[in-house]
Amino acid sequence: MPIQINKDIVGKEYPPFVVHVERGKIKEFARAIGDLSPLYLDDAVGRASEWGDIVAPPTFPIVFREDGGTMLQDLGVDISRILHGEQEFEHRKPIRPGETYLCRSKVVDIYEKTGRSGPMAFVVRETTATDGDNEVVAVMRSVTVVRL
C-alpha cells in the first residue's frame, strides 16, 4: 500500500532564516568535493582576484538550510523514503565569505508519478537568498523524490 503524503503544503512559505557564510566553510566544502581551485581555498589568491576575496563554488548554497526536517514533517514522510531528484542553482552575484544572507524557502509544487520502482511524489521547493542590499544572490530549486 503506497503511503499518503500531505499535499496541502504546496504554496507554504517557511519562516525566513539567516545564513552567515564562514570562510572555513567555503574551504571545507570545496575540499569535500575535491575542487582545489585556489580561488576557493587561498585567501591571498582571492584577495588578488577580481572579487577581492575567495568565493564559493557553484553548489555551495546547498548548505543554506535551516533544518530540523520541517518539510519532511509537514509531508509526513520518513527520511528513509526520500531521494534527491533534481537540483538547480541560479547565480546572480558571487557568494562571499563574511556575508550574511536572508533565505526564503517555499514549496512550489507537488506531483505524483509512477516510475519503474513504483509510485513516487515529487516535491519542488524554491529557496531565494538575498544580500544586505536586498538583491537576490542565488535562487535554488530542488526536487525531492518521495518513494510512496
- From the CB of residue 53, how many other CB atoms can be counted at a distance below 10 Å? 18
Residue ranges binding another protein (CB under 8 A): 25, 28-29, 31-35, 37-40, 50-51, 55, 57-59, 62-63, 65, 67, 79-92, 94, 141, 147
Q: Which is nearer to another protein, 20 or 31 (CB)?
A: 31
Q: How far is the CB of 114 from another protein (least distance, A)?
A: 16
Q: Which is nearer to another protein, 7 or 141 (CB)?
A: 141
Q: Which is nearer to another protein, 8 or 112 (CB)?
A: 112
Q: Please, are residues 18 and 103 in contact by the beta-carbon 8 Å criterion?
A: yes
Rounded to 5°, angle at Cα 75 from 61 and 112: 90
Q: How far is the CB of 102 from another protein (least distance, A)?
A: 18
Q: Which is nearer to another protein, 8 or 65 (CB)?
A: 65
Q: How far is the CB of 30 from another protein (least distance, A)?
A: 8
Beta-strand ranges (E) seen in the chain are 17-20, 82-91, 100-115, 118-130, 136-147
Q: How far is the CB of 57 from another protein (least distance, A)?
A: 6
Euclidean distance between CA atoms 69 and 65, whole angstroms: 10
Rounded to 5°, angle at Cα 86 from 78 and 59: 105
